[in-house]
């Protein structure tokens, strides 16, 4: 606890350097601009903008990246309030009440409560991250390979089997990702696996290529082939964006409750922002004094889920930074962003690159302030982005998707992979398979294998080391519980709730 404040202060000094402020500002602006575009969620926002950070130094790049991440979360809420097709699954819930408010001419207050709620939640949750991280790091320094392997098993289970409408499809997605992770040279023995003599495959399959292919190309194919498109109407923001006293009274508790729900869900390897915002919506619906307004534009139904959404986004950074464990597709892509600089998130990063980590955490606070300014007075600029005609929008999305792919590896082969995985993403979507487990499996699979082999090398092949400590036993039991719970719930006819909690794009 005590060590956080000086470290955070040091980080703020890094974040306030003019050049870093500029990177943060570019990051939040790009993040908001891309996040606002219909059909683009935070995972794709981060994947598309990754190439923009290739040539920067690690600190500048990660600060810009943090801004992109938070900006993408803010941008998504604007889309779902003003347009009834939310750009990210975490904002589906926001659309329930937010779009109704916009239709009733209360779009301004809806955007305001979303932005201020996101700010409050982002502020509290980022401070939560700052105070929780040193504690988790201290704990994690005692972890051996067996504990890491158990944690990764838990992450695999929660991302694939625990939520969504089918354990079979979740596991299939996960194992497709794990199989893709096998491709390339084995890190420990140098043996080539599943490369079929193709030299381009020896380096393995890029996480960003698969993510961009599945989210951008897959989504574009899905939208283009839809036979009946939803009538999309952008609601004009009428009247003031300022909230009335009554709006404030009804919002502030919802913001705090949303934060309290969102942060722990993000911080535990328990799933993404969509789960948090769904639970927050359910809580607000139960606690409201105006139940008659729910479904017709209740402001609590926007305030709570939006706060939960952002708090969970900050919470996701706890396992990502302290353990190197991505629990959502967005976090998996961010991990790939770290790895491009040879940085491996985890407890050691807090020791070896202290300035970098705390500069990053502090710049999240800075980004949050910038986003409040960007999203309240300047909202009308972003709203205009919603009216881009579909042909131009998706043409542009594919231009930037291929740009990112070629920027990472200028070869037609990489574009071939983009097309192949794009088609795969389309068919996965069409048959109801979740995408996030593919991405998480791809990046976490090789890491889990490495930990497993290290653990077994230490024990000279005795598998009992995997359940050799109280910590790893607890984590493995938790994973087993998360695996069996949905099967039991579905057998008892409670599967609908799980289907609504499906982790998809986030």
Partner 1 sequence: MTGETGKKAPGFDPGVLVIAGLLTIAGAVIVWSAWSAPAAGGYARIGPTAAPWVIGAVLLILGGATAVSAFRGSFPEREPQAFPPMLWIVGGLAAQMLLIKPLGFSIATGLLFAATARAFGGRPLWMTIPAGIAFAFVVWVAFSRGLSLNLPAGPLERLL
387, 40 Cβ separation under 8 angstroms: no
Minimum Å gap between C-beta 224 and partner 1 is 4
Which of 44, 452, 466, 479 touches partner 1 by CB under 8 A?
Answer: 452
How many whole angstroms separate alpha carbon 340 and alpha carbon 318?
20
Which member of 104, 224, 388, 487 binds partner 1 (CB under 8 A)? 224
Q: How many Cα atoms occupy the beta-carbon half-sphere of 464 within 13 Å?
A: 0
CA atoms of 237 and 46, how far apart (whole Å): 28
Tell whether residue 481 is a contact of partner 1 (CB under 8 A).
no
495 binds partner 1 (CB under 8 A): yes
189 binds partner 1, rule: CB under 8 A: yes
d(C-alpha 400, C-alpha 74), whole Å: 21
Q: Which stretch binds partner 1 (CB under 8 A): 69-77, 320-328, 334-342, 494-502?
A: 494-502
| 418 lies in the binding site for partner 1 (CB under 8 A) | yes
| From candidates 388, 427, 477, 480, binder to partner 1 by CB under 8 A | 427
- Residue 249, both tokens: 């009274």
Helix (H, G, I), strand (E, B) or coil at 192: strand
Task: Pick the closer one to partner 1 by CB: 18 or 410.
Answer: 410
d(CA 241, CA 473): 52
Q: Please choose, out of 244-252, 319-327, 341-349, 448-456, the segment that lies near partner 1 by the rule CB under 8 A.
A: 448-456
Q: State how far the Cα of 208 lies from the Cα of 211, in Å rounded to an integer.
A: 5
Nearer to partner 1, 194 or 268 (CB): 194
Tell me whether residue 51 or residue 264 sits nearer to partner 1 (CB atom).
51
- Residue 464 touching partner 1 (CB under 8 A): no
Out of 1, 2, 191, 286, name the contact with partner 1 by CB under 8 A: 191
When asked if residue 354 is in the footprint of partner 1 (CB under 8 A), the reply is no
Residue with structure tokens 């302030």?
A: 369
179 binds partner 1 (CB under 8 A): yes
Cβ neighbourhood burial of 193 (10 Å; 0-12, 13-18, 19+): middle
Residue number, 16 or 223, with CB nearest to partner 1: 223
Q: How far is the CB of 403 from partner 1 (least distance, A)?
A: 6
Question: By CB under 8 A, is residue 227 in contact with partner 1?
Answer: yes
Does 447 help bind partner 1 (rule: CB under 8 A)?
Answer: no
Residues 86-145 binding partner 1 (CB under 8 A) are: 89, 92
Q: If binding is defined by CB under 8 A, does position 323 make contact with partner 1?
A: no
Q: β-strand 184-185 against 192-193: which pairing, if any?
A: antiparallel
Query: Is residue 261 helix, strand or coil?
Result: helix
Tokens of 337: 């962003």
295: helix, strand or coil: coil
Residue 193, beta-bridge partner list: 184
Shortest reach from residue 426's CB to partner 1, in Å: 8
Q: Is residue 164 part of the contact set for partner 1 (CB under 8 A)? A: yes
Q: Can you tell me which of 52, 152, 270, 332 binds partner 1, judged by CB under 8 A?
A: 52
**What is the spatial distance between Cα 504 and Cα 19, in angstroms, rounded to a whole number?**
36
| Shorter beta-carbon distance to partner 1: residue 4 or 94 | 94
Nearer to partner 1 among residue 70 and residue 400 (C-beta): 400
Name the DSSP letter for residue 241: S
| Contact pick of 388, 419, 477, 487 for partner 1 (by CB under 8 A) | 419
Residue list 363-392, contact with partner 1 (CB under 8 A)? 389-392
Shortest separation between residue 202's beta carbon and partner 1, angstroms: 14
Question: DSSP of 434-490, one letter per residue?
Answer: -SHHHHHHHHHHHHHHHHHHHHHHHTTT-GGGGG-SHHHHHHHHHHHHHHHHHHHHH
Phi-psi region of 305 (alpha: psi -120 to 50; beta: other; left: phi over 0): alpha
Which residues make beta-bridge pairs with 192? 185
CB 90 to partner 1: min, Å: 12
Measured from the CB atom, the residue of 16 and 192 that comes closer to partner 1 is 192
Write out the binding residues for partner 1, residues 231-260 only, by CB under 8 A.
none
> 341 near 291, Cβ under 8 Å?
no
Note whether 65 binds partner 1 by CB under 8 A: no
DSSP run (H or E) holding 185: strand 184-185
């Amino acid at each position: 606890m005590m060590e956080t404040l000086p470290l955070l202060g040091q980080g703020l000094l890094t974040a306030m350097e003019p050049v870093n402020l500029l990177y943060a500002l570019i990051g939040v602006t790009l993040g908001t601009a891309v996040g606002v575009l219909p059909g683009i969620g935070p995972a794709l926002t981060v994947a598309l903008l990754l190439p923009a950070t290739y040539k920067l130094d690690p600190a500048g790049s990660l600060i810009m990246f943090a801004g992109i991440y938070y900006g993408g979360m803010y941008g998504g809420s604007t889309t779902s309030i003003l347009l009834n097709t939310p750009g990210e699954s975490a904002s589906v819930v926001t659309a329930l009440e937010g779009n109704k408010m916009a239709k009733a001419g209360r779009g301004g207050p809806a955007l305001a409560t979303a932005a201020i709620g996101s700010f409050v939640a982002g502020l509290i949750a980022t401070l939560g991250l700052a105070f929780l991280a040193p504690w988790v790091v201290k704990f994690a320094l005692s972890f051996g390979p067996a504990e890491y392997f158990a944690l990764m098993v838990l992450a695999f289970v929660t991302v694939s089997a625990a939520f969504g409408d089918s354990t079979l499809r979740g596991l299939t997605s996960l194992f497709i990702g794990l199989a893709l992770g096998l491709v390339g040279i084995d890190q420990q023995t140098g043996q080539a696996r599943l490369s079929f003599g193709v030299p381009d495959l020896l380096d393995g399959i890029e996480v960003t290529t698969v993510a961009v292919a599945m989210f951008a190309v897959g989504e574009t194919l899905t939208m283009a082939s839809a036979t009946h498109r939803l009538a999309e109407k952008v609601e004009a923001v009428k009247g003031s964006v300022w909230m009335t006293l009554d709006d404030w009274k009804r919002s502030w508790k919802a913001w705090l409750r949303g934060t309290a729900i969102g942060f722990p869900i993000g911080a535990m390897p328990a799933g993404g922002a969509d789960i948090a915002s769904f639970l927050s919506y359910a809580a607000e619906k139960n606690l409201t004094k105006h139940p008659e307004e729910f479904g017709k534009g209740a402001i609590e139904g926007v305030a709570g889920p939006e706060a939960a959404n952002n708090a969970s986004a900050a919470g996701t950074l706890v396992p990502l930074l302290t353990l190197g464990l991505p629990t959502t597709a967005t976090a998996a892509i961010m991990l790939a962003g770290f790895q491009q600089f040879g940085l491996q998130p985890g407890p050691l990063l807090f020791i070896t690159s202290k300035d970098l980590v705390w500069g990053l955490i502090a710049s999240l606070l800075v980004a949050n302030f910038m986003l409040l300014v960007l999203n309240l007075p300047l909202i009308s600029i972003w709203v205009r982005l919603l009216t881009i005609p579909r042909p131009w929008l998706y043409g542009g999305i594919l231009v930037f998707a291929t740009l990112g792919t070629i920027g990472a590896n200028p070869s037609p082969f990489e574009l071939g992979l983009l097309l192949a995985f794009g088609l795969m993403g389309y068919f996965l979507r069409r048959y109801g398979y979740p995408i996030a487990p593919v991405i998480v499996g791809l990046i976490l699979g090789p890491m889990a294998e490495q930990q497993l082999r290290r653990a077994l090398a230490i024990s000279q092949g005795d598998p009992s080391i995997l359940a050799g400590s109280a910590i790893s036993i607890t984590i493995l039991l938790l994973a087993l519980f998360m695996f069996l719970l949905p099967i039991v719930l579905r057998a008892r006819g409670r599967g609908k709730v799980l289907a609504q909690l499906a982790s998809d794009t986030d």
